[in-house]
């Protein structure tokens, strides 16, 4: 797979991630800064490293499954695994300018 093809798949994954919202905050998980990294290997399997706004997040069970399910809908992706990490700990500084504006923080 060429770098350009990988980049295009990465862009598609990001577009999917931008359709998934934290139920407590009206901003998508990508703009919130919950996605730390996206990997795609040569077999077109994706791995997403993400965090939650807090370890006690009420969607700790359902949100990773939703991410996996939605990313797997991409025809270029064979499988998707989500790994949750709390290192580094999520802070409001990780949010995009767009998310901060949406939440009235700017």
- What are the residue boundaries of the structural domains of the chain, listed by start? 3-91
- State pLDDT tens for residues 56-94: 888 888 999 999 999 999 999 999 999 999 999 999 999
- State pLDDT tens for residues 5-46: 888 999 999 999 999 998 878 899 999 999 999 999 989 999
Rounded CA-CA distance 33/90 in Å is 8
Would you say domain 3-91 falls under CATH 1.20.1250.20?
Answer: no
Note whether 54 and 48 are within 8 A (CB): no
pLDDT at 80: 98
pLDDT at 78: 96
* Strand-pair partners of 79: 45
Rounded CA-CA distance 18/65 in Å is 15
Average pLDDT, the chain: 92
pLDDT tops 90 at residue 47? yes
Report phi then psi at 10, rounded to 5: -60, -45
């Amino acid at each position: 797979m060429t770098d350009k093809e990988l980049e295009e798949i990465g862009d598609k994954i990001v577009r999917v991630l931008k359709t998934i919202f934290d139920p407590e905050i009206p901003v998508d998980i990508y703009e919130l800064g919950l996605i730390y990294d996206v990997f795609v290997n040569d077999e077109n399997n994706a791995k997403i490293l993400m965090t939650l706004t807090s370890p006690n997040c009420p969607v700790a069970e359902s949100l990773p499954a939703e991410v996996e399910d939605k990313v797997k809908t991409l025809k270029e992706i064979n499988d998707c695994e989500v790994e949750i990490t709390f290192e580094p700990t999520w802070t409001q500084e990780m949010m995009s300018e767009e998310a901060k504006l949406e939440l009235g923080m700017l």
